[in-house]
Amino acid sequence: MNNKITSYFQDKRENKPKSKKVYMSFVLLEDGKLAEEITNPDPLFAVYDPATEIIEVTPTVQINGNYIYPLNGDLVTKKVVMFPEKAEDYESLETLRQEVATFIHKYVDIHPFYEELASYYILLTWLFDKNTVITYLGIYGEYGSGKTRAAQIIGSLCYKPAPVSGALTCAPIYRLLEQARGTLIINEFDFDNSDMGVELIKILNNGYEKGMHVLRVEGKTGKVEAFDAFSPKIFTYRKKKKDQAFESRLITIPMEETKRDDIAIILPLEYEMEALSIRNKLLMFRFRNFFKDIKPDLSIFKGIERRLRQTLYPLLTVVDDQAFINTLGKFIQDLQQQQQTDRGMSWVADYLASFIELTKTGDEITVKALADQYNLGKEGKEIVSTKRAGHVVRDDFKLKTERLTSGEHKGQYGIKIDAEKVKALCLHYGIEIPEGSSLCSPSSPQDQDQSEDSEHSEDTQELFSLDTGIEKEDN
Domains identified in the chain and CATH numbers: 20-73 (no CATH), 93-289 (3.40.50.300), 344-439 (1.10.10)
Q: What is the pLDDT of residue 240?
A: 67
Crossing angle of helices 322-344 and 112-125, in 10° steps, is 100
What percentage of the chain reaches a pLDDT higher than 90? Answer: 52
pLDDT tens per residue across span 60-117: 999 988 899 999 988 898 889 999 999 999 999 999 999 999 999 999 999 999 999 9
Least confident of 265-279, 290-304, 458-472: 458-472
Containing 338, the helix (H) or strand (E) segment is: helix 322-344
- Residue 184 · residue 233 · CB < 8 Å: yes
According to the model, what pLDDT value does residue 118 have?
97
Q: What are the φ/ψ torsions at residue 288 (nearest 5 degrees)?
A: -75, -25
CB atoms within 10 A of CB 55: 18
Give the pLDDT confidence score for residue 219 in this predicted structure: 67
Residue 14's Cβ-count burial label (10 Å; 0-12, 13-18, 19+) is exposed
The pTM score is: 0.78
Alpha carbons 184 and 201: distance in angstroms, whole number: 13
Q: Which amino acid is at 274?
A: E
